[in-house]
Structure formats: structure tokens, C-alpha cells
Structure 1
């Protein structure tokens, strides 16, 4: 499970980097820049959810290991 979540986190980080390259910093909320900004926000949320999932699995392992 740890490898799977690590791969997904790396993919989400790659999407963040890709979407940053699509941003137009002069007009960040117009055209393709708006789509890129939404993609960055969604990828950031995915990373947070995956990290919370990994932490919850660690807690579950510790509580069941007693």
C-alpha cells in the first residue's frame, strides 16, 4: 500500500509541476491559466488526501499491533 500511495503522490506532484508551466503569470485567471490553476489546486488536494491516508494507516497499524 505504501508503494501505491507513493506513486500516486509522485504523479500528483508531476501534475502540479506540469500545470505550473501552463500558467500565464500576467493573467493567471483567464483562459488556459484558469484551467491550470484549478489543476494545481486539485493536485494539491490529492497530495493532502493521500498523505492523510498514509498517516491513518500508520495509526491503524500501531493500534492493532498492541
Structure 2
């Protein structure tokens, strides 16, 4: 997976976070569609975290290969 694809996937996750924030009813955030939106936000944050960990591991792998 190259850098461009990783950036595109991170941007898609950020867009999903923005969309899900609009779906939250801040008066009652734990009922109905608000719960689903909160789950979507958490899932998107997890996806971003995983993509950033993957990208960092690829950078480390390249440095180790250059050293050998």
C-alpha cells in the first residue's frame, strides 16, 4: 500500500467522522441514531490509528532494509 492510498483512506475516515458528528443528537447522545453515529466515529478513529501505525511500520522497514 503506497503513501497516496493511505492518505486517501485517512481522508475518507475523516469525512466519515464529519458526517457522523452531524448525525449526533447532542441533547440525547446515547439513544437511537446517535449511538450508531458515535460507534461510527470511534471506528473511524480506529481506522485512522491503524493506518498511521501501518505507515510508520513501513518507514521503519525501509530504514532497516537500507541499513542492511
TM-score normalised according to structure 2 size: 0.95
Cα offsets for 1:1-41 (capped at 9, x unmatched): 00010000000000000000000001101000000000000
TM-score normalised according to structure 1 size: 0.98
- Runs of 4+ displaced beyond 3 Å: none
Q: What is the CA–CA distance in structure 2 between the aligned matches of 1:17 and 1:61, rounded to whole Å?
A: 34
Structure 2 segments unaligned to the other structure (5+ residues): none
How many residues are paired up? 66
Structure 1 segments unaligned to the other structure (5+ residues): none
Q: Aligned with 2:25: secondary structure?
A: coil
